[in-house]
Amino acid sequence: MLDRPLLHGFTVDVEDWFHILEYQGAPQPDAWAQQPSRVALATDRMLALLAQHNVHATFFVLGWVAERHPDLIARIAEAGHEIGSHGHLHRLVGDLGRDGFARDLDASLAAISKASGRDVQCFRAPGFSIGDEQTWAFPILASRGIRYDASLFLANRAHGGMLLHRSRPFDLVLDDGRSITEIPTVPRLIAGRGLSYAGGGYLRLLPMWLIEQSFQAAERDGTPAVVYLHPRELDPEQPRMALPPVRRFKYYVGLDGVQAKVEALFSRHRFGPVSEVARHTPRDRPVHIGAVS
């Protein structure tokens, strides 16, 4: 069935340098508009990099960013990329609760559709924050027309994280028979332990040989990787927040090397938006949402 090389996902969470989760010292939403914005500049760098290598990606846009930078969202759409929602105010799903989640989602979908001129069919929760306790989010997502989700990180995490035994995209089947296709982030198993390698701090921190070896293992196993990056990861000159030492290290390590790593991956592997990954990969077993919790 797979006579072409495996298609991996390439995703960008479109948010600004100060959209950090769970740090009290970060600017609060009512002060965001006063911050020096870097998101358009950094996202344009990402668009140029993708165009140069003829790669299409999924951009999960924060609704707040779409409201303030509609031209940027129009440029992303015009370049032929897939556009999804990353929520409106970058809040963890569990903190929002059901009603708050629905309101935040609706605000983001309105802003993103207006800016992009398209219906939004893809979603990623801030911080991958859908875990076993937040599966109520899926019926809400389905009721708003979301068909593809990339919020599940199949490993233990500070928030979110779900220990499902799946290695490829699968259908999340809801009680009413509707379904959403999940394109999960799947760690590489090494001697029974999971190694995350394809996005954010992991991609910045790990040496290229280990990342490359992990992509080759993923291709042997038929498990697509899902690269996730933020515009700020192509912006080494961004303002630095006064984070505690460990957090500071994780947030800012390796910014100088991201572009070279991405270009190395583009030269050796195939990437596309999440909906295309779902179409190109044989589905894993479905998950019934009632049975998860």
Sign of CA dihedral 100, 92, 248, 149: negative
What is the DSSP pairing of strand 148-149 with strand 170-173? unpaired
* Cross-strand partners of 199: 228
- Residues 78-117, mask of contacts with Zn ion (x by CB under 5 A): ----------------------------------------
Question: 13: which 2 tokens?
Answer: 């969470």
Nearest distance, CB of residue 235 and Zn ion, angstroms:
15
Residue closest to Zn ion (Cβ)? 13
- Interaction of residue 276 with Zn ion, rule CB under 5 A: no
Minimum CB distance to Zn ion, residue 13 (Å):
4
Smallest separation (angstroms) from Zn ion to the CB of 22: 12
Q: Which is nearer to Zn ion, 184 or 289 (CB)?
A: 184
Q: How far is CA 179 from the centre of its chain?
A: 20
Pair of tokens at residue 161: 């994280």
Q: In sequence order, what are the beta bridge partners of 12?
A: 59, 229
Q: Which is nearer to Zn ion, 76 or 287 (CB)?
A: 76
The residue (of 6 and 83) whose beta carbon lies closer to Zn ion is: 83
Is position 272 an interface residue for Zn ion (rule: CB under 5 A)?
no
Task: Collapse the DSSP code of 172 into the 3-class scheme (helix H, G, I; strand E, B; otherwise coil) and give the result.
Answer: strand
Phi and psi at 246, nearest 5°, equal: -65, -45
Q: How far apart are CA 104 and CA 126, in angstroms?
A: 12
Question: Which span (6-14, 34-42, 197-205, 276-284) binds Zn ion, by CB under 5 A?
Answer: 6-14
**Contact flag: residue 63 with Zn ion (CB under 5 A):** no
Query: Residue 202 Cβ, how far from Zn ion at the closest point, in Å?
Result: 15
Which CB atom, from 60 or from 271, has the smaller least distance to Zn ion? 60
**Closest CB to Zn ion among residues 174, 234:** 234
Smallest distance, Zn ion to C-beta of residue 84, A:
12
Stretch that binds Zn ion, among 9-17, 181-189, 245-253, 278-286 (CB under 5 A): 9-17
In this chain, which of 6, 7, 11, 13 binds Zn ion, going by CB under 5 A? 13
Q: How far is CA 187 from CA 2, 109, 212, 214, in A?
A: 22, 30, 14, 9
At 273, list the tokens: 């938006």
Stretch in the footprint of Zn ion (CB under 5 A) among 8-16, 77-85, 220-228, 265-273: 8-16
Instruction: Select the residue interacting with Zn ion from 9, 63, 84, 126 (CB under 5 A).
Output: 126
> E strands of 38-98, at which residues?
58-61, 82-85
Closest residue by Cα to residue 231 from 10, 41, 56 = 41
Sign of the dihedral through C-alpha 29, 136, 149, 6: positive
Binding region for Zn ion (CB under 5 A): 13, 15, 126
